[in-house]
Amino acid sequence: MATKTAPINMRVEPQVRNVIDAAANLLKVDRSVFIQQAALAQARLVISNQRDFALDDVAFDAFEQALKVKPKANEGMTELLNRKAPWQ
């Protein structure tokens, strides 16, 4: 079964296109493949920077201790959750 593709169109200045083309030629790929690979690599980096993080031993211990602290009761939240819904 063939996978469908989705078009992505963009306009760039000629000098930008020329730089992209030069880099794509060095890697022996076409412009579309080069742009797709570069965009995908950057997208993965952005996502991992928002999702993954590394801590040294001291910071990790502090992080674990913060996770172990019992949360404080929030009176407003407790009242809200115990309130009868308007449609009831």
At 86, list the tokens: 């308007």
Calculated CA dihedral for residues 45, 34, 13, 16, nearest 10 degrees: 80
For residue 17, what are the CA distances in angstroms to 9, 37, 67?
Answer: 13, 16, 49
Task: Report yes or no on 70 lying in a domain.
Answer: yes
Task: Say if residues 20 and 31 touch (Cβ distance below 8 Å).
Answer: yes
26 vs 2, residue with greater confidence: 26
Instruction: Report pLDDT digits (tens) over 55-87.
Output: 999 999 999 999 999 988 899 999 999 999 888
Instruction: Report pLDDT digits (tens) over 21-55.
Output: 999 999 999 999 999 999 999 999 999 988 888 89
Domain count, the chain: 1
Task: Report yes or no on 60 lying in a domain.
Answer: yes
Q: How far apart are CA 53 and CA 77, in angstroms?
A: 30
Task: Say if residues 20 and 11 touch (Cβ distance below 8 Å).
Answer: no
Task: Report yes or no on 55 lying in a domain.
Answer: yes
